[in-house]
Amino acid sequence: MIPLIFLLAMQVVAVKVFKKTAPNGKVTVYLGKRDFVDRLDGVCDPVDGVIVIDNDYLRDRRIYGQVMTTFRYGREEDEVMGLKFSKDMVLCKEQVVPPHHNKKQNPSDLTPIQEKLLKKLDNQNAFPFTFNLPDLAPPSVTLQHGENDAGRPLGVEYEMKAFVAENDQDPGHRRSTVSLRIRKVQHAALTRGQKQPSVLVSKGFTFSAGKINLEVTLDRDIYYHGEEMAANVHISNTSKKSVRNIKVMVVQHCEVTMVNAHFTKTVAHLETREGCPITPGASLTKSFHLRPCASNNKDKRGIALDGHLKDEDVNLASTTMVPGNPNDALGFVVSYSLRVKLNLGTLGGELQADLPFKLVHPGPDAEDIKEISFKGSKDRATYQKQCYAKDADEEENIVFEDFAKLRMSMSEIDN
């Protein structure tokens, strides 16, 4: 029997690398990941990879690389008579082949994944590239399509493109262009504080004395995707009205900065009559547990998602966080609040309380990440494999995976 220690020593870690080739088969792009992380401290993961050119195709051709974002704020089918509801912005662009600065001659300029790829490919026509996204580049957001929606979804999308051109103003030809959809995501701070946010609202009545008080408290102000929320609700009734039922919901707020529009969607909901009616002079304290996640909102049109690349890695859009002035936020600004409604009957109306909180991705070094049950969201290990580099001391094998687009619906295939 082979000793267990020997087996562990022989263990090899596989690193997934995404690969895509131009239609003419002459240009191939390799990317180490598709999710690029903004840690909100002025540091964002660079978009780094390697471009490989066919030997007979290179000659005197120039190859450019760029990262572009598309901000779509209207339906594609409504674009008529030259009217467009989208804006394309090139965030960074440079000539990759021939390189202005040969990174191969200075290995310190190479990222770890580029070093591994150049060693694995062992091709003199392999050229590394690195793009740094601007600090204020908006995070990826996709609004979920409805059953009858067609065309590209609304939101903010990122695309890395490599193409053959005569100069930097030449858009290139489709046959010699490689386009890869990527995603920019944000992470929470390393630690979450012990702050328990709360809100207190009251409602009085014109023709009767007394009022109804509603106090809502959350167990924390920052939640990770898939984590269960605990809300404590305290109601005291000193009026002559009665509380008929209680509604608790998680509301997603989405602001479209370019057109100054705002809309809300409910992503988790709970309604109860337990403890009701709360009659005059009575009070009630009760805890409610909700878990907002994308898997429970698959059929809701207009839900903001974290940049939909494929079905198994979809989450609700994270809370948009901007270092410095919040008014500098661009694209689709997403926020969340816990909303509690009390039904006071036909004449009494409703009493509503909104309590903001943040819903984000955990960072790789988050201290309390082991305590979280990630139900209804993407598996944490899967997420970290896509976002974080392996330990440099580990022996690694590179596994290439074709960079596939979103699966087409049957209606699109038929057309």
Same domain membership, residue 215 and residue 96: no
Say what the pLDDT of residue 411 is. Answer: 37
**Would 7 be classed as within a structural domain?**
no
Q: Is the pLDDT of residue 71 over 50?
A: yes
In the predicted model, what is the mean pLDDT of residues 320-325? Answer: 76
Q: Is the pLDDT of residue 266 over 80?
A: yes
CB atoms within 10 A of CB 204: 11
- pLDDT-derived band at 309 (thresholds 50, 70, 90) equals low
Same domain membership, residue 323 and residue 211: yes
Q: What confidence tens digit (pLDDT) does each residue in 87-137 have?
A: 889 999 999 988 876 655 566 778 888 988 988 888 788 999 999 988 888
Q: What confidence tens digit (pLDDT) does each residue in 41-57 have?
A: 666 789 999 999 988 88
Same domain membership, residue 203 and residue 175: no
**Would 9 be classed as within a structural domain?**
no
Nearest to 406 by CA among 280, 305, 293: 305
Parent domain of 400: 15-186+375-409
Top mean-pLDDT range of 81-85, 167-171, 220-224, 231-235: 231-235
Say what the pLDDT of residue 153 is. Answer: 85
Taking all residues of the chain, what is their mean pLDDT, rounded to a whole number? Answer: 81
Top mean-pLDDT range of 96-110, 267-281, 396-410: 267-281
Q: End-to-end distance of the chain based on CA atoms, in angstroms? A: 59
Q: Please state whether beta strands 283-290 and 177-186 pair in parallel, antiparallel, or not at all (unpaired).
A: unpaired
The SS3 assignment for 296 reads helix
Top mean-pLDDT range of 151-160, 360-369, 402-411: 151-160
User: Hey, what are 181's tokens?
Assistant: 């959809």
The CATH number covering residue 286 comes to 2.60.40.640
Q: What confidence tens digit (pLDDT) does each residue in 279-288 have?
A: 999 999 999 9
Same domain membership, residue 173 and residue 322: no
Say what the pLDDT of residue 83 is. Answer: 82
Q: What confidence tens digit (pLDDT) does each residue in 331-380 have?
A: 889 999 999 999 998 888 999 999 999 998 887 665 555 455 444 444 44
Say what the pLDDT of residue 121 is. Answer: 86
Residues 29 and 98: their CA atoms lie apart, in Å, by 15
Question: Which 8-state DSSP code applies to residue 100?
Answer: S
Q: Say whether the peptide bond before residue 98 is cis (omega within 30 degrees of 0).
A: yes
Nearest to 64 by CA among 127, 132, 149, 156: 127
- pLDDT-derived band at 303 (thresholds 50, 70, 90) equals very high
The CATH number covering residue 394 comes to 2.60.40.840
Q: Say whether the peptide bond before residue 277 is cis (omega within 30 degrees of 0).
A: yes
Q: Are residues 270 and 243 in contact, defined by beta-carbon separation less than 8 angstroms?
A: no
Say what the pLDDT of residue 410 is. Answer: 33
Give the residue with greater pLDDT, 237 vs 324: 237
Say what the pLDDT of residue 44 is. Answer: 79
Given phi > 0 = left and psi -120 to 50 = alpha, else beta, which region is 281?
left
Q: Is the pLDDT of residue 247 over 60?
A: yes
Q: Is the pLDDT of residue 382 over 80?
A: no
Same domain membership, residue 213 and residue 122: no
**Would 62 be classed as within a structural domain?**
yes
Q: Is the pLDDT of residue 22 over 90?
A: yes
Residues 42 and 28: their CA atoms lie apart, in Å, by 31
Distance from the Cα of residue 246 to its chain's centroid: 32
Q: Are residues 144 and 267 in contact, defined by beta-carbon separation less than 8 angstroms?
A: no
What one-character-per-residue DSSP string does 197-232 give?
-EEEEEEEETTEEEEEEEEEEES-SEEETTPPEEEE
In the predicted model, what is the mean pLDDT of residues 160-171? Answer: 89
Say what the pLDDT of residue 48 is. Answer: 92
Nearest to 329 by CA among 259, 252, 256, 251: 256
Residues 286 and 271: their CA atoms lie apart, in Å, by 13
Same domain membership, residue 214 and residue 176: no
Q: How many domains does the structure of the chain reveal?
A: 2
**Would 1 be classed as within a structural domain?**
no
Say what the pLDDT of residue 388 is. Answer: 42
Does the pTM surpass 0.85? The reply is no
Residues 309 and 18: their CA atoms lie apart, in Å, by 13
**Would 47 be classed as within a structural domain?**
yes
Same domain membership, residue 123 and residue 51: yes
Say what the pLDDT of residue 151 is. Answer: 77
Q: Are residues 329 and 257 in contact, defined by beta-carbon separation less than 8 angstroms?
A: yes
Q: Which residues contact 47 (CB under 8 A, 6 or more apart)?
A: 31, 36, 67, 130, 131, 132, 133, 160, 182
Same domain membership, residue 41 and residue 20: yes
In the predicted model, what is the mean pLDDT of residues 382-410? Answer: 50
Residues 397 and 394: their CA atoms lie apart, in Å, by 10
**Would 4 be classed as within a structural domain?**
no
- Name the one residue in this structure whose structure tokens are 């082991």: 370
**Would 73 be classed as within a structural domain?**
yes
Q: Is the pLDDT of residue 218 over 50?
A: yes
- pLDDT-derived band at 175 (thresholds 50, 70, 90) equals very high
Same domain membership, residue 203 and residue 344: yes
In the predicted model, what is the mean pLDDT of residues 213-223? Answer: 93
Residues 332 and 87: their CA atoms lie apart, in Å, by 13
Same domain membership, residue 206 and residue 77: no
Distance from the Cα of residue 397 to its chain's centroid: 28
- For residues 72-81, one letter each, b for 16 or more C-beta atoms within 10 angstroms of the residue's C-beta and e for the rest, the string is bbeeeeeeee
Same domain membership, residue 388 and residue 318: no
**Would 231 be classed as within a structural domain?**
yes
Same domain membership, residue 202 and residue 235: yes
Q: Is the pLDDT of residue 195 over 60?
A: yes
